[in-house]
Structure 1
């Protein structure tokens, strides 16, 4: 008999809270066509026997025996008579053939393959896969086979925590506190959250997950959005609730930014939502996604110094629960480039199991900024840890000045992707419209779901599709988009594609916390398809770094006038930056510079990696991985198709250390006697750059008998630290954990100073 192989995919996904039995048969025979079946199961402590049993056909045939062939490592049990594998345990899941299946008489027609057990881990998605073979005893040929893949998915509880402070009414680059209509940071934030919700809604197999939303702008940190997000609790992540995050008429649409930045209180509210008694023990992954655009200015703040820095608030509360039970991982998104805020938000994420994203806005005041719009969506691969979803395309482009303005975008999807989501971002009133969506030449436009928001249009489609029998997501896609209104000039746009992919997993690392100028990074990327490493991809790493140290430049440049928002005070450096961003020479000096580094495959670490030096400037850096195709000449591979990925990651590079002699403080005393004494210093790094403004809350004074009473940030790199206590005492003065001075206070140069009330003052 001629060997025949008919492969069937049966995906078993644990995602819900309602169990039901399923009984479907393997179509194993020489004449049965290729079939794709999907199975949906509950997320429970175990897969109960009976819920995953699948009938095998043809049972009872004379001269047919059955055997299992697991993928990956397993524990096997052989039939004592035939020696054939009859039961295996894969990652905690037991797969068992029915009695007599391995004998030559075959199994009965009613016999079923049993699948049951408790997965080893549900922290990340895992795939349990095996093949069942029907073998012709007479000649040993394969009569037929069925491939089974069980995708075990751990549902997600996601708490979204948003900064609703007064500074969110500013324009993107901060040059104006009141932005033009539709161009404020809050407007962009609403669109970014809506885009993330669209992607969560368009991803397959994400049923029964939960989401919440709270905002911080006052002492409580517990400001609710409109319904259905007004309960300050987790709600179903279903289509209706996700669509309620539309920027045009959703739960955030009528909210106006105002207030301060109590970052710590906002995080604690998100923590309490995720750890509420009703959901704490539901065995879901728990993630918190925190956005802020400024510096903390209201208690309780997140600690920036000490043993528990970045893990606790100043009143001793743990950001993600007790350290012995850290269920929550915190992912941060920060808007801004100066002061200590980028380092603060990065450090919070790194210290609490998450990943930071920093939004660096090039000056342009009000123009479309795709880095902001895509920031929440780009965090989803980090939250879901490399499998489902994954960004495969993110490109800045243009619509030509034509009639009508139209463009074509193409990309390739690898095998195994179950959903494809494409998004076109265009600023202003030039509404984009998809006029064709083709996959391998076949028009899919009538079968996709579309949604338009104020700044973008997207489509989504899942596979298998009831209306497209036999069509899969892998292959070459071509998207034609046009604008309904002709701008009359070349119009910037951004195109992004995300796929839901459990089989092809990606892993990316760039750098850890605490990087300093002068150090190196070793970016790394790994790719596996159904557990097997992919070794022939083409991977490039693009490093974007600041043109110069922005904090040093702010300290050195003069600004004749700068102010701050009374309701949302920031450091003088941020206020000063508002005016400096209007200076073309300043803007050109801080613009990012990019360098491309190829990442060869390392057979020892089984990753694409290289060591990159040249971190010679402090500030926010961005790393982008570009993965295009494979090493094959035709850019394809028969196993997983063509691999295409895009991944970006932010990291902050801090000043290298303190030049102690150049930073030595001066002791200022009150000539009238009594109190109002201070230390005045302008810390400079060992590379000659000023630490600059915005780091006041990281300044510490350790001493017995001498205490700190206030910190005044003057905006030019100078700090004034009020002190009390004995003049003869010893002190240790530090900034961001770096020592500035250690020794007796009496050894410092002394200067007389005017009387002061010890309060921070901003130039007017």
Structure 2
């Protein structure tokens, strides 16, 4: 009973005290058994009171008048009824009070008919009376309902004591939590043994993937929560089954080590080999994500064209067998993010980008896995950086955001300033991921840690950072600062302020260091929307960007996009390069892809053609936290990098910076078959077409487009496509070859009619249409011109009449 009495004393025992007095006033009336029974009831009452105090404290909040009230956070699990209701009452008042909302309702809120509150995402916040109508101070604000949407938002209340006119205001944050089930779908086909870049000693794509996935798991572990992770490998089939994460595994302190061990074992037995069954791998992952009460995400990584059925369709919404992907644009479906590496194939990029944009994700890709610098930090060139970007994309409703990135060479001695950045108020965690230029064993990694200096507002705060890494031989170390914890003897660290990060080599020959800075911030939200999900050369790429804090718009931010377009058209340069290669039998079905891989690995002049050209697009605030703008220089086909840099400073949030990165694939625009060297012959009932597709702006679409050819007539089949590596293709059609059809490349119609007539001289009207298109007018404008000509002839005819 000693522990019970101590707890009761801490909690206060007013009722128990009154009962004691009553017992002492009538000592002769009470019999011993009754006294013992009452004593037992008193102890039981106090015990229940003590046990319920945390619940009552959580359910009842107070706004004190005439004092500053700290914000209060409600952490509510999704789809769980609030029981009992949460209440908010006044403090320091003496009778009648007035209630009102001190700020606008959060986005999506619906006002109650009586003017006394609102509903939002399954929750109701209701005042005891209409705003500014006097009500007794014993009545309380009530929060009730069942939250239906994960995320965070806030509302602000003011209560005024009617007698004294003193008032108090308090912000209440609602954080609706939902666990995340996430599956990594990883390519382990034969092409994964290719090098990531032309640099001597560059790791294979598989080794780069191992590093990236291990670091991804370390970040996932650092964020914490009740999330789970699964892994699906695929080559010719979805195999082998992951030892650690074939079934969803709870994220705990052992996750990163388990994932690192798992992918190491897969690299040994069996080694990466075989074809590319991305569709089957994706299907396996969606089957794993069967719990619809959880948020569900998939990250797909691949480096090659699909060549095993079922294939994901070009729209990214389903498979070649007619089944659909359980994703889509609405919340509740599976979110899909994608990463590609090292391919010139339009089919490859279009499918991965469409899969992401159709399913609430984003696409990241790199030509070879290397980095390049930009004015605002580091563009997402590396494979590891691609995984960091997609980590943020898939957990976007949960909070992690990239603050900034940096890439710096490290001299043998002396410290280097890596980055200076502002951090805003009330960030939960700060994560600093350092990747150096070579792998190290743990003792050397600790030397790297010693060479790191972290300052906030000029003061050393490194003692607050907890280091972690994956495995015993790595080039990456993660430092996590949890602002809810502090070293013994030190106060809690306030995140808001100016941060600087330095690193030193200490004669370890580290060569360089890449720094990724992430903030675990549940309050700031960002969402971008591309106005054109399938941009083509000469199109405009319009972008809108939504920014809010707890679903209240942030209207004073500076939002820029650093756009990096390739200097030259990749397909055209591949087509005119005369260094054709002999296909080596790897899993890629396209000789054009293999030509690209060989040129990129061995030809520095070829690589130099694609140095990124930087342009900056300023997005302007329009309304309610929406920033809009467009990029108008889609002058070549290829992969464009978009790096969003968001900066703001205000009293409510403090000063902050965020970065978001993605890739956009821009396709060719229009094909002129009359200039595409088309010949057609019929052989043994099959039509054989040879063509070298050229755009109407004078560029070859290039090799590696074999899988992109399609016909609309279901009775005509494409039996084979031979890629000659110079942009020329030999296509064999079977079936009803004398029937009309539409011939398309990457979903763009390039011909309509009988295939044997493709590329032959057009009619006079067709030629006029093409001329109009070449000068920037739509083809349908010919009918307006013809109508005007007829009208003019009619007027002339009338004038000639006597």
TM-score of the pair, normalised by structure 2 = 0.76
For residues 110 and 717 of structure 2, what CA distance do their matches in structure 1 show? 64
- Which residue of 2 is the match for residue 499 of structure 1? 519
Cα 1:724–1:246 shift into 2, 3 Å:
closer
2:221 is equivalent to residue 201 of structure 1: yes
Question: Does structure 2 retain, via aligned residues, the 8 Å contact 1:573–1:694?
Answer: yes
TM-score of the pair, normalised by structure 1 = 0.80
- Which residue of 1 is the match for residue 145 of structure 2? 117
For residues 686 and 149 of structure 1, what CA distance do their matches in structure 2 show? 56
- Which residue of 1 is the match for residue 583 of structure 2? 563
2:432 is equivalent to residue 422 of structure 1: yes
**Correspondent of 2:675 among 650, 662, 679:** 662
**Correspondent of 2:420 among 406, 410, 416:** 410
Q: Give the 3-state SS of the residue equivalent to 2:422 in structure 1.
A: strand
Q: Give the 3-state SS of the residue equivalent to 2:449 in structure 1.
A: strand
Cα 1:641–1:590 shift into 2, 3 Å:
same
Q: Give the 3-state SS of the residue equivalent to 1:708 in structure 2.
A: strand
- Which residue of 2 is the match for residue 167 of structure 1? 191
**Correspondent of 1:445 among 449, 457, 462:** 462
- Which residue of 2 is the match for residue 332 of structure 1? 338
Offset at residue 707 of structure 1 (A): 3.9
Rg: which structure is higher? 2
Cα 1:140–1:332 shift into 2, 3 Å:
same
Cα 1:392–1:86 shift into 2, 3 Å:
same
Cα 1:326–1:261 shift into 2, 3 Å:
farther
After alignment, is 387-396 or 315-324 more displaced? Answer: 315-324
Q: Give the 3-state SS of the residue equivalent to 2:387 in structure 1.
A: helix
Question: Does structure 2 retain, via aligned residues, the 8 Å contact 1:165–1:257?
Answer: yes
Offset at residue 472 of structure 1 (A): 2.5
For residues 715 and 525 of structure 2, what CA distance do their matches in structure 1 show? 57
CA deviations on 1:551-586 (whole Å, 9 max, x unpaired) are 1111111225333344x1331011111222222221
2:319 is equivalent to residue 313 of structure 1: yes
Cα 1:476–1:302 shift into 2, 3 Å:
same
CA deviations on 1:473-527 (whole Å, 9 max, x unpaired) are 2211222322354329xx3322111112222222223453221101111233332
Offset at residue 115 of structure 1 (A): 2.8
For residues 400 and 508 of structure 2, what CA distance do their matches in structure 1 show? 34
For residues 321 and 62 of structure 1, what CA distance do their matches in structure 2 show? 55
Matches within 5 A, 1:573-584: 573-581=592-600, 582-584=602-604
Question: Does structure 2 retain, via aligned residues, the 8 Å contact 1:243–1:250?
Answer: no
- Which residue of 2 is the match for residue 267 of structure 1? 282
Question: Does structure 2 retain, via aligned residues, the 8 Å contact 1:271–1:321?
Answer: no
After alignment, is 650-659 or 639-648 more displaced? Answer: 639-648
2:666 is equivalent to residue 644 of structure 1: no
Question: Does structure 2 retain, via aligned residues, the 8 Å contact 1:132–1:147?
Answer: no
Offset at residue 606 of structure 1 (A): 4.8
- Which residue of 1 is the match for residue 49 of structure 2? none
Matches within 5 A, 1:240-639: 240-246=254-260, 256-274=271-289, 276=290, 279-280=291-292, 282=293, 284-304=294-314, 309-320=315-326, 327-340=333-346, 341-361=348-368, 371-385=382-396, 388-399=399-410, 401-429=411-439, 431=445, 432-433=448-449, 435-453=452-470, 454-465=474-485, 469=491, 471-487=493-509, 491-559=511-579, 561-566=581-586, 568-581=587-600, 582-603=602-623, 606-628=625-647, 630=648, 636-639=649-652
CA deviations on 1:165-208 (whole Å, 9 max, x unpaired) are 111111113x69xx95x8111122122222222222223xx522
For residues 355 and 322 of structure 1, what CA distance do their matches in structure 2 show? 13
For residues 689 and 332 of structure 2, what CA distance do their matches in structure 1 show? 40
Question: Does structure 2 retain, via aligned residues, the 8 Å contact 1:464–1:472?
Answer: no
Offset at residue 350 of structure 1 (A): 2.2
Identify unmatched segments of 5+ residues in structure 2. Answer: 1-53, 373-378, 761-802
Q: Give the 3-state SS of the residue equivalent to 2:644 in structure 1.
A: strand
- Which residue of 1 is the match for residue 154 of structure 2? 128
Question: Does structure 1 retain, via aligned residues, the 8 Å contact 2:711–2:741?
Answer: yes
- Which residue of 2 is the match for residue 140 of structure 1? 165
Cα 1:114–1:254 shift into 2, 3 Å:
farther
Offset at residue 590 of structure 1 (A): 1.8
Question: Does structure 1 retain, via aligned residues, the 8 Å contact 2:722–2:729?
Answer: yes
Question: Does structure 2 retain, via aligned residues, the 8 Å contact 1:321–1:327?
Answer: yes
Offset at residue 446 of structure 1 (A): 2.3
- Which residue of 1 is the match for residue 744 of structure 2? 734
Cα 1:47–1:704 shift into 2, 3 Å:
closer
For residues 266 and 41 of structure 1, what CA distance do their matches in structure 2 show? 35
For residues 721 and 285 of structure 1, what CA distance do their matches in structure 2 show? 44
- Which residue of 2 is the match for residue 3 of structure 1? none
CA deviations on 1:418-448 (whole Å, 9 max, x unpaired) are 2211112212146432543232344332222
Q: Give the 3-state SS of the residue equivalent to 1:523 in structure 2.
A: strand
For residues 542 and 533 of structure 1, what CA distance do their matches in structure 2 show? 23
Offset at residue 596 of structure 1 (A): 1.9
2:94 is equivalent to residue 62 of structure 1: yes
For residues 330 and 546 of structure 2, what CA distance do their matches in structure 1 show? 30
For residues 514 and 331 of structure 2, what CA distance do their matches in structure 1 show? 41
CA deviations on 1:612-641 (whole Å, 9 max, x unpaired) are 21211000001111223x4xxxxx421211
CA deviations on 1:96-119 (whole Å, 9 max, x unpaired) are 5789x9978743xxx976432123
Q: Give the 3-state SS of the residue equivalent to 1:224 in structure 2.
A: coil
User: How many residues matched?
Assistant: 681
For residues 78 and 729 of structure 1, what CA distance do their matches in structure 2 show? 64
Cα 1:29–1:254 shift into 2, 3 Å:
farther
Identify unmatched segments of 5+ residues in structure 1. Answer: 1-19, 80-84, 631-635, 751-764
Q: Give the 3-state SS of the residue equivalent to 1:611 in structure 2.
A: strand
Question: Does structure 2 retain, via aligned residues, the 8 Å contact 1:202–1:461?
Answer: no
CA deviations on 1:27-49 (whole Å, 9 max, x unpaired) are 76589997676654433343222
- Which residue of 2 is the match for residue 692 of structure 1? 702
Cα 1:728–1:36 shift into 2, 3 Å:
closer
For residues 303 and 78 of structure 1, what CA distance do their matches in structure 2 show? 48
Offset at residue 251 of structure 1 (A): 7.2
Question: Does structure 2 retain, via aligned residues, the 8 Å contact 1:506–1:527?
Answer: yes
2:233 is equivalent to residue 215 of structure 1: yes
- Which residue of 2 is the match for residue 762 of structure 1? none
Offset at residue 243 of structure 1 (A): 4.6
For residues 638 and 62 of structure 2, what CA distance do their matches in structure 1 show? 59
Q: Give the 3-state SS of the residue equivalent to 1:269 in structure 2.
A: helix
Question: Does structure 2 retain, via aligned residues, the 8 Å contact 1:387–1:506?
Answer: no
Offset at residue 701 of structure 1 (A): 3.5
After alignment, is 441-450 or 26-35 more displaced? Answer: 26-35
Question: Does structure 2 retain, via aligned residues, the 8 Å contact 1:405–1:486?
Answer: no
For residues 678 and 326 of structure 1, what CA distance do their matches in structure 2 show? 47
What value does the CA root-mean-square deviation take over the aligned residues?
A: 3.7
Q: Which has the higher helix share?
A: 2
- Which residue of 1 is the match for residue 57 of structure 2? 23
For residues 740 and 48 of structure 1, what CA distance do their matches in structure 2 show? 62
Offset at residue 451 of structure 1 (A): 1.3
- Which residue of 2 is the match for residue 758 of structure 1? none
CA deviations on 1:65-117 (whole Å, 9 max, x unpaired) are 473536433667899xxxxx876545542345789x9978743xxx9764321
Question: Does structure 1 retain, via aligned residues, the 8 Å contact 2:417–2:500?
Answer: no
For residues 118 and 370 of structure 1, what CA distance do their matches in structure 2 show? 43
